[in-house]
Amino acid sequence: MEIQVLGPLGAQVEGETVVPSAAKPRQILSLLALHPGRIVPVATLMEEIWGMRPPQSAQTTLQTYILQLRRRLATAMGPAAPAGAKDVLATRHGGYVLQIPADRVDVHRYERLVTQGLAAFEAGDDETSARVYRQALALWDGPALVDVRLGPVLEIEVLRLEESRLVAVERRIDADLRLGRHCALIAELSELTARHPLHEGLQSQAMLALYRAGRRSGALDVYRRLRSRLIEEVGVEPSPQLQRLHQAMLTVAPQLDELTTPRPTSTFDLFAA
């Protein structure tokens, strides 16, 4: 069984899809897939489907949805499968568990690669870090669970995943900047800063890429636009780190052209106190 949650929901057994068309069973499958090998309590599944006010028939209806999922599994697995549908989608005391290895779900492969990418970055191995982060991000095929109706539990999970994705992008760009790939990053950073106009980490990366590409005026324009937005929309000045980066660009500080620092650090923290 292979499952995808980093984009549209997908689940295949022997090449045959087992994703239900009904909204609530899709929510159940998504939640179970995010925690393979772990019991998802009945209360959590009910909260996802009905919120804090489940109907009196919730327990019975949930069992019906589980049965529907098992039927799809059984059809795809066929009668010759060594493990039955009840073994794959198993009932446990207080909940249900999807009995498949974690690496059969794309999000768990993604998280493993992100951990490896961060370790390589912190060890100063920028080439490996950038490559592994790219492998992790290539697993995404759009927003997480983009075609699944999100209840309160899945909504939190998706927010966590989307934040993790943005952090992974930021760390990958940090590694690429340390490798001197500033010119190749400008177009990507232009799009990212437009999508996240108040994200100081991405804005600092755009500033540094433009500066190292010989476009100091463009780098200073990024700072001016960010500062105006922060003052108008939030009522605050840019962070001290960003202000020091801006000042370094005004004075053409030589350390801005240094690709490596005494210790691996993010672009945003180049001028941390």
Q: What is the pLDDT of residue 83?
A: 65
Tokens of 263: 């210790």
d(CA 272, CA 171): 17
Residue 243: HSE in the Cβ half-sphere, 13 Å Cα cutoff: 7
Which residue(s) pair with 105 in the sheet? 3
DSSP letter at 231 equals I
Identify the three-state secondary structure at position 91.
strand
* Chain centroid, CA 32 distance in Å: 18
Contacts of 73 (CB under 8 A, 6+ apart): 13, 18, 85, 88, 89
The amino acid at 130: A
Q: Whole-prediction pTM value?
A: 0.92
pLDDT (tens place) for every residue of the chain, 273 residues total: 899 999 999 999 988 999 999 999 999 999 999 999 999 999 999 999 999 888 999 999 999 999 999 999 988 877 766 568 888 999 999 999 999 999 999 999 999 999 999 999 999 999 999 999 999 999 999 999 999 999 999 999 999 999 999 999 999 999 999 999 999 999 999 999 999 999 999 999 999 999 999 999 999 999 999 999 999 999 999 999 999 999 999 999 998 988 777 677 889 888 876
Tokens of 140: 């995404």
Q: What is the pLDDT of residue 80?
A: 62
* Chain centroid, CA 210 distance in Å: 26
Q: What is the pLDDT of residue 273?
A: 65
Q: What is the pLDDT of residue 47?
A: 96
Q: What is the pLDDT of residue 234?
A: 94
Q: What is the pLDDT of residue 77?
A: 78
